[in-house]
Each structure stands twice: as structure tokens, then as C-alpha cells.
Amino acid sequence: MGLFRIVCLRPRLPAVRLSDRNRPKLNADLFEGKERLLTKKSGASYSPVLNQSRLRVRAWRLTGLDEILLTRALRFNGQNDSNQMAKFHNAKQGDTLSSIAREYGFRSYRTIFDHPSNADLKSKRDPHVLFPGDQIFIPDLEQKMVDRPVDNLHHFVIPVKRLFLRLRILDINGRQLKNTRCDLGVDENEGLVAKETDAKGVLEHPISPNAHNGEVVAHHEIQPDPDPIEQRLKFDLKIGHLNPETKLSGQQARLNNLGYFAGFSHTDLDQLLWAAEEFACEKIGKPVTKRPKILPSPPEGEEDESASDPNQPTGIMDRNITDKLKAEHGI
């Protein structure tokens, strides 16, 4: 899920404690980005190995010492956390629970999402579909201490679940693009990667919790052999920017993604209504005899968290339509 940094917890609780007080104390200053010798006097060194799927720490080898105490020193953002206190995070556009967990040093968003103080948020939000202004309680990081003998080499392995981007690609007629060659790129630090959709038109790709932008190009053959004609379908991706289905902007985005043009502005209310009615006729299977009620968003739009209440529904007020829209869209 990306590279992690390691820092020491220096205030009050040292990263290394010697069993014999008469021996020289280690001035432990753990590295950020490359190996660093802890102290020349002790002859001890710290040699970690990092990769994208897990964190492996090759043990300290301390000559002549009987005991070593390793405190929990895992942080994603490289900040000291020994005096950290629980706090609230004010969600902004593009935030997800995974990106917030990375920001505050948690390996899994479940630690935050499953906390009792976030029960109300959990009851109404998908962990990766937040709204600007949502208040997320951030608990304290917990410390862990491990005792290991110094005459052996120890490996510390921390499992980290990877985050995946999942896309289902349809053609202009709503048909799944099965087993279709695609080029996928996520953020600027990664070039286009060759992918292929499965038998249901779905492709998956591991991403960083901090990924926000991307693009996918599907190479679709619109004419069978012997003379196939390739059609290139390009889609720009805004990862983590999908708003809840109870919000006008979230309804517009889902309808547009599904091929029902619902407009792009919070003032396109007529276009949103037409798209919602067309969607209801096709997916719910009942004729629309009465136009659904619609509640406008604030004049400033819904991107401005200071003007928009995250708990106030906007847009289509028909739960049958919004629930079906979420189910068809997948999130």
C-alpha cells in the first residue's frame, strides 16, 4: 500500500533501553528514507527493508547487550506521535477513510471507522464516499513494545491490506466491455499500465490511499473480424471525489457515470430531473406518473463546506430512486 516511514518516540519513552544502566545509553534517531548508524560508540545499526505490501524490520544487532526494548514507532507521515491526543478530522473534497488513516498513521481505516465515536458516521457513509464537512473522530495511536534477545536477527512483519481501484466499463449502449484491453494510469508518478477487463467488464488495480486522479483508455472493437475497427474510449478519473447518493452532486455523478446525462452544475435541476426519470423508467420498471421532488443545493454549490450542511439531503428526494441509483452504480 505504499512506503512507510519510521520515526522514534523520543519524549519520555526512549526507543531503546539497556538492561544495564552502567552501559552507555543509545541516542536512537531512526531514519527517514535511508539507513543511519544509531551510534558509533555502541556499534549498533538499524537496517530496515521496506516494500509496498508489508514492512519488514531487520533487527538491531547490539554487541554485548542483554536486552533491547523496541517501542511502536510506525507512522505514515513521519511525525512524532508520543504526545498525540484524540481529535476530529474535518473532511474535505477528495478525502476517504483510507487517505485519512494514512495521514494519521493508521495501517487500516477500520480502526477509525469502527470506533464507537464514529457510529453515526458509519451508519450513513461508505468509508470511501465522504462529504466535505463530515466530522471523523481520530483515536489515539496505540503503542506496542516488543522484547527480543540481542544475539539473534529478528524480523518484524506487519500485514497491510492493499487498496484497489475497481472500474466497470460499459460502451455507449450500456453493454459491458468484456475482456477488453485497457490502459490505466493513476496520478502523475505512474505511467499507463496495460490492463484487461474480466468477463463482466471489470478491471482492478492497486492504488495508494493518496491517489486522487487517473485516466483509463479502453480499446473497444466495434466491428467483428476480419476487418475490426477499434474505438478508443477515454475516461478521466477523480478518485475519492464521489459524493454520497443523498447529495445532488453525488446523484449527478452517478447518473452521468451510468450514461444518463444529468448535467454538471448544481443549477442544472431540470436536466437532473429528466435523467432521474429516465433512470427510474429503465431500472425500477415503473412509469413515472409524478415528478420526484427535488431540493436545490446551496447557491454556492456543494463543494464549499462552509455553505453546505453534510447532513442535509439535496437533489432527488425519492428514496426508491436514490437507493436504486446507488445499487446500480455499485457504491
- State the Cα–Cα distance between residues 240 and 97, nearest whole angstrom: 10
**The CATH number, out of the four listed (2.50.20, 3.30.110, 2.60.40, 2.40.160), of the domain defined by the range 163-238:** 2.60.40
**Residue 147 is placed in which grid cell?**
522484547
DSSP secondary-structure letter at 217? E
CA distance to 102, 280, 331, per residue, from 261 (Å): 35, 14, 19
Homologous superfamily of 87-138 in CATH? LysM domain (3.10.350.10)
Q: Which amino acid is at 136?
A: I
**Amino acid letter, 141:** L
Residues forming CATH 3.10.350.10 domain(s) in the chain: 87-138
Q: Enumerate the β-bridge partners of residue 218.
A: 182, 233
Looking at the chain, the domain(s) classified CATH 2.60.40 span: 163-238
Q: How far is CA 123 from CA 114, 127, 232, 266, 272, in A?
A: 11, 10, 40, 26, 27
Question: Rounded to whole angstroms, how far apart are CA atoms 35 and 59?
Answer: 13
Contact present, 90 and 103 (Cβ < 8 Å)? no
Give residue 220's pLDDT: 85
Q: What is the pLDDT of residue 96?
A: 95
Q: Residues in the chain with pLDDT < 50?
A: 1-83
Q: What is the pLDDT of residue 147?
A: 84
What is the reported pLDDT for 247? 94
> CA-CA distances (angstroms) from residue 268 to 9, 79, 249?
53, 44, 10
Q: Which amino acid appears at position 291 of this protein?
A: R
Determine the pLDDT at residue 224. 67
User: H helices within the chain, ranges in order?
Assistant: 97-104, 110-113, 119-124, 248-257, 269-279, 319-329
- Asked if 132 and 92 count as a contact pair (C-beta separation under 8 A), the reply is yes
pLDDT at 79: 40
C-alpha pair distances (Å), 281 with each of 4, 253, 277, 285, 320: 49, 19, 6, 5, 12
3-state secondary structure at position 38: strand
Of 133, 135, 132, give the one whose Cα is nearest residue 122. 135
Go through 231-269 and write b for each residue having 16 or more CB atoms within 10 A of its CB, e for each that does not.
Answer: eebeeebebbbbbbbbbbbbbbbbbebbebebbeebebb
Cα 21 to chain centroid distance, Å, stands at 46
